[in-house]
Amino acid sequence: MKSTGIVRKLDELGRVVLPVELRRKLGIDIRDAMELKVDGNYIVLQKYKPKCTFCKSTENVIEKKDKLICEKCLNDLKKLG
Protein backbone atom coordinates (compact mmCIF):
# COMPACT_ATOMS: atom_id res chain seq x y z
CA MET A 1 0.00 0.00 0.00
CA LYS A 2 1.22 3.49 -0.81
CA SER A 3 0.87 6.28 1.77
CA THR A 4 -0.69 9.55 0.61
CA GLY A 5 0.62 11.52 3.58
CA ILE A 6 -2.94 12.70 4.28
CA VAL A 7 -4.08 12.39 7.90
CA ARG A 8 -7.68 12.96 8.99
CA LYS A 9 -9.36 12.63 12.40
CA LEU A 10 -12.63 10.81 13.03
CA ASP A 11 -15.50 13.05 14.08
CA GLU A 12 -17.79 12.25 17.01
CA LEU A 13 -19.90 9.96 14.78
CA GLY A 14 -16.89 8.00 13.49
CA ARG A 15 -16.84 9.70 10.08
CA VAL A 16 -13.78 10.65 8.08
CA VAL A 17 -13.72 13.16 5.21
CA LEU A 18 -11.88 12.15 2.04
CA PRO A 19 -10.17 15.18 0.50
CA VAL A 20 -11.64 16.32 -2.82
CA GLU A 21 -8.26 15.94 -4.57
CA LEU A 22 -8.13 12.27 -3.58
CA ARG A 23 -11.76 11.67 -4.59
CA ARG A 24 -11.16 13.25 -7.99
CA LYS A 25 -7.99 11.23 -8.55
CA LEU A 26 -9.83 7.98 -7.73
CA GLY A 27 -13.06 8.85 -9.58
CA ILE A 28 -15.20 8.89 -6.44
CA ASP A 29 -18.26 11.13 -6.70
CA ILE A 30 -20.66 12.41 -4.07
CA ARG A 31 -23.15 9.68 -3.08
CA ASP A 32 -21.03 6.86 -4.58
CA ALA A 33 -21.33 3.65 -2.57
CA MET A 34 -18.14 2.71 -0.76
CA GLU A 35 -17.17 -0.78 0.39
CA LEU A 36 -15.26 -1.42 3.62
CA LYS A 37 -12.94 -4.42 3.87
CA VAL A 38 -10.53 -5.61 6.55
CA ASP A 39 -7.07 -6.89 5.63
CA GLY A 40 -5.25 -7.92 8.81
CA ASN A 41 -4.94 -4.69 10.81
CA TYR A 42 -5.87 -2.49 7.85
CA ILE A 43 -9.23 -1.03 6.90
CA VAL A 44 -9.55 -0.84 3.11
CA LEU A 45 -12.08 1.58 1.64
CA GLN A 46 -12.90 1.26 -2.06
CA LYS A 47 -15.57 2.34 -4.48
CA TYR A 48 -18.28 -0.35 -4.55
CA LYS A 49 -18.72 -2.28 -7.78
CA PRO A 50 -21.79 -4.51 -7.98
CA LYS A 51 -20.96 -8.13 -8.89
CA CYS A 52 -22.94 -10.74 -10.76
CA THR A 53 -24.59 -13.24 -8.42
CA PHE A 54 -23.44 -16.14 -10.61
CA CYS A 55 -19.97 -15.40 -12.05
CA LYS A 56 -18.89 -12.44 -9.83
CA SER A 57 -18.11 -10.28 -12.88
CA THR A 58 -18.37 -6.49 -12.48
CA GLU A 59 -18.91 -5.87 -16.20
CA ASN A 60 -22.39 -4.89 -17.46
CA VAL A 61 -24.16 -5.81 -14.21
CA ILE A 62 -27.88 -5.02 -13.94
CA GLU A 63 -30.55 -5.75 -11.35
CA LYS A 64 -33.28 -8.25 -12.26
CA LYS A 65 -35.93 -9.26 -9.70
CA ASP A 66 -33.77 -8.02 -6.80
CA LYS A 67 -30.69 -9.96 -8.01
CA LEU A 68 -27.53 -8.67 -9.65
CA ILE A 69 -26.69 -10.40 -12.94
CA CYS A 70 -24.29 -9.65 -15.78
CA GLU A 71 -25.34 -9.54 -19.42
CA LYS A 72 -23.52 -12.79 -20.24
CA CYS A 73 -25.18 -14.80 -17.46
CA LEU A 74 -28.57 -13.30 -18.33
CA ASN A 75 -28.14 -14.41 -21.96
CA ASP A 76 -27.04 -17.88 -20.81
CA LEU A 77 -30.15 -18.19 -18.64
CA LYS A 78 -32.40 -17.09 -21.50
CA LYS A 79 -30.93 -19.87 -23.67
CA LEU A 80 -31.79 -22.48 -21.00
CA GLY A 81 -35.39 -21.51 -20.63
- The helix or strand, by DSSP H or E, that contains position 45, with its residue range, turns out to be strand 42-47
| Domain extent for 71 | 49-81
- Asked whether 77 and 59 are in contact (CB, 8 A), the reply is no
Q: Given pLDDT bands bounded at 50, 70 and 90, which one contains residue 4?
A: confident
pLDDT of residue 81: 73
5 vs 77: CA distance, rounded Å: 48
Q: Give tens-digit pLDDT for 6-56.
A: 999 999 999 999 999 999 999 999 999 999 999 999 999 999 999 999 999
CA distance 6 to 43: 15
Calpha distance 36→72 (Å, rounded): 28
- Same domain for 38 and 56: no
Q: Do 21 and 57 belong to one domain?
A: no
Total structural domains in the chain? 2
Which CATH number is 4's domain given? 2.10.260.10
Same domain, 55 and 40: no
Whether residue 36 is found in the same domain as residue 53: no
pTM, rounded to two decimals: 0.65
Residues 42 and 59 in one domain: no
